Structure 1
Amino acid sequence: MSEYRLNRLFNADSGRLLDVAVDHGFFGEASFLNGIENMDHVISTLVDAGPDAIQLTLGQARLLQSVKGKSKPALVLRADIANIYGNPLDTHLFSHHVPNAIEEAVRLDAAAVCANLIQLPGRPEIREACVKSIMALRAEATKYGMPLMVEPLVMQDNAVAGGYMVDGDTDKIRTLVRQARELGADLIKADPTDNVEDYHRVVEVAGDIPVLVRGGGRVDDKTLLERTVAVLEQGASGIVYGRNVVQHRNPTGITRALMAVLHDSVSAEDALELVGGDEK
């Protein structure tokens, strides 16, 4: 049953989750490699920092799963790949899932798999490809009891903001989150809304499915921690942060601060003191 693996992801006391995403190299963008060039070092640092989960690709998952002992973070396996983050975009866009992703996730002892649901202006074929991938993954995930995390991505027009820029429109995010729920997501990793006070509306349309908030681009520590507190107050079940952890001057410190906010309900101000070092 998928809930057995979900029990490995969420903290037993707080019921919340910090998943650190380090799957950026899968998407073929040079800028995504900043801070994660040496994955052996990155994984070693994160394991010592102790988030609840680390999100990795098929080719990098072994770096986490080869770590000995029972206390390492759980594995979330990225199950799909797309080329929609470039600026300018490639002339041919695609989104594909790994055909045997669920079996690979079982072999790798993953606690969940993650796949995109992309809304890119003017490119409905990408959303169609994502829907097909999610339906195929859902069928296999059910068979093996593997939780499926769906990542709705509402993007701005690439000509305006670049392929990776989020459109924080609440109604657009709610609509895509609801579609993820309807497609059978066990977890939803969703965009932050421009107005954080709206986020309860995103949580509402997801129903009983836990909503995890994406981190997006790098921000200063105070902003990150305050935003984290705010989305938790709006009903989010956790966060999936990547660059704000792995590109941080002190990944261990920021992880410690985020875990305190998530699991001990520490204020943003108090959590900031746990980061350590001077802000850069």
Structure 2
Amino acid sequence: MDGKERRLRKIINKKTGRSLVLAVDHGMALGAMTGIVDIAGTIRTLDATNKVDCWLMTKGIYTHAFDPSGDPGVILRASGGATIAGPELTREGQTADAEEALRLGVDAMATTAFVGSVYEHETLISMARMATECRKWDMPLLGVIGLGKTNEDKKKDPKFIALGARVGAEHGADIIKTYYTETDFEKVVAGCPVPVMIAGGPKCETDLDTLNMIYGALQGGAKGIVMGRNVWQSPHPTALLSAVYGLIHEGMNVKEAADLLAHEVALDH
């Protein structure tokens, strides 16, 4: 056991080897979105289900709005500095360091690299430097693979997604967050030497679409999710969270998870 292994156990469930990470870091670039306007309330409601292994958030939300009832893992978003109001959303820089993460008591850090974007070089170098810094303190690093607007069409291309996952690992990330591809996702996982977890991306049309996406990713070798709006923008976020937990940690198939979702929705009414 060392520091990194101890911290990773706060993120990835030792029994299942998988993780359910809820991301609430969207506000740093997108502002007060539906579902996280009252972000403290959203966190409190979803935390009360005891289904969340770990949270991904910025230092501002950790400091001002995070008050869990238990002791879930926390991944500190450590890159940012760009918003939808600015000229280029992919121009991120470092917004936190390992010393700050240790002082806050979090379990990992996260930084984005925008592979294929105009700021690919800068963001990959930032990821590599953060990996070096994290290694000094046995702090795990989540590598978030972003695309940028010019690469949106490549989100479904498994070769491009596989490239980004591998590149993130090559630059020092211990876990990769990337997009699910409906075809050949197992090739994305096979070419990445560290655990791969899927992002939610844009809001799915239905909760069933979300369940199908997560199940497909798990079948393809993903170790779980790092997902936000597809959970907390659901009409029934707590019920959906239970169904997602069933997929990730209880080996449910989509029908079983959908039945659980329907049952919990009915109970709420």
Q: TM-score, normalised by structure 1?
A: 0.85
1:202 is aligned to 2:188: yes
In the other structure, the counterpart of 2:60 is: 59
In the other structure, the counterpart of 2:197 is: 212
| Cα offset, 1:65, TM superposition | 5.5
1:77-123 Cα shifts (integer Å, max 9, x gaps) = 1010053756xx6169621112x4211211222111111010354x1
2:59 aligns to what SS in structure 1? coil
In structure 1, distance between residues paired with 2:162 and 2:83: 21
Q: How has the CA–CA distance of structure 1 residues 93 and 229 changed in structure 2, closer, same or farther, with 3 Å as cutoff?
A: closer
In structure 1, distance between residues paired with 2:244 and 2:201: 15
1:254 is aligned to 2:264: no
Q: How has the CA–CA distance of structure 1 residues 221 and 265 changed in structure 2, closer, same or farther, with 3 Å as cutoff?
A: same
| Cα offset, 1:213, TM superposition | 0.7
In the other structure, the counterpart of 1:41 is: 41
Q: Letter of the 1:184 partner, please give it.
A: G
8 Å CA contact 2:89–2:148 kept in 1: the answer is: no
In the other structure, the counterpart of 2:178 is: 190
1:151 is aligned to 2:147: no
Q: How has the CA–CA distance of structure 1 residues 92 and 200 changed in structure 2, closer, same or farther, with 3 Å as cutoff?
A: closer
Q: How has the CA–CA distance of structure 1 residues 20 and 201 changed in structure 2, closer, same or farther, with 3 Å as cutoff?
A: same
In the other structure, the counterpart of 2:105 is: 109
2:162 is aligned, of 174, 187, 203, to 174
Pairwise CA RMSD: 2.2
In structure 1, distance between residues paired with 2:265 and 2:212: 18
In structure 2, distance between residues paired with 1:64 and 1:73: 15
8 Å CA contact 1:65–1:108 kept in 2: the answer is: no
8 Å CA contact 1:156–1:167 kept in 2: the answer is: no
8 Å CA contact 1:197–1:234 kept in 2: the answer is: no
1:48-98 Cα shifts (integer Å, max 9, x gaps) = 122111111010113565445xx3321111010053756xx6169621112
8 Å CA contact 1:150–1:188 kept in 2: the answer is: yes
2:184 aligns to what SS in structure 1? helix
8 Å CA contact 1:134–1:183 kept in 2: the answer is: yes
In structure 1, distance between residues paired with 2:88 and 2:53: 38
8 Å CA contact 2:247–2:254 kept in 1: the answer is: yes
8 Å CA contact 1:49–1:251 kept in 2: the answer is: no
In structure 1, distance between residues paired with 2:19 and 2:147: 23
| Cα offset, 1:226, TM superposition | 1.4
Length, aligned pairs only = 260
In the other structure, the counterpart of 2:12 is: 10
8 Å CA contact 2:28–2:83 kept in 1: the answer is: no
In structure 1, distance between residues paired with 2:91 and 2:150: 17
Q: How has the CA–CA distance of structure 1 residues 34 and 111 changed in structure 2, closer, same or farther, with 3 Å as cutoff?
A: same
In structure 1, distance between residues paired with 2:225 and 2:88: 33
Whose RCO is larger (CA < 8 A, sep 6+)? 1
Pairing 1:239-250 to 2, within 5 Å after superposition: 239-250=225-236
Gaps of 5+ in 2: none
In structure 2, distance between residues paired with 1:93 and 1:152: 11
In the other structure, the counterpart of 2:91 is: 94
Q: Letter of the 2:14 partner, please give it.
A: A
8 Å CA contact 1:48–1:252 kept in 2: the answer is: no
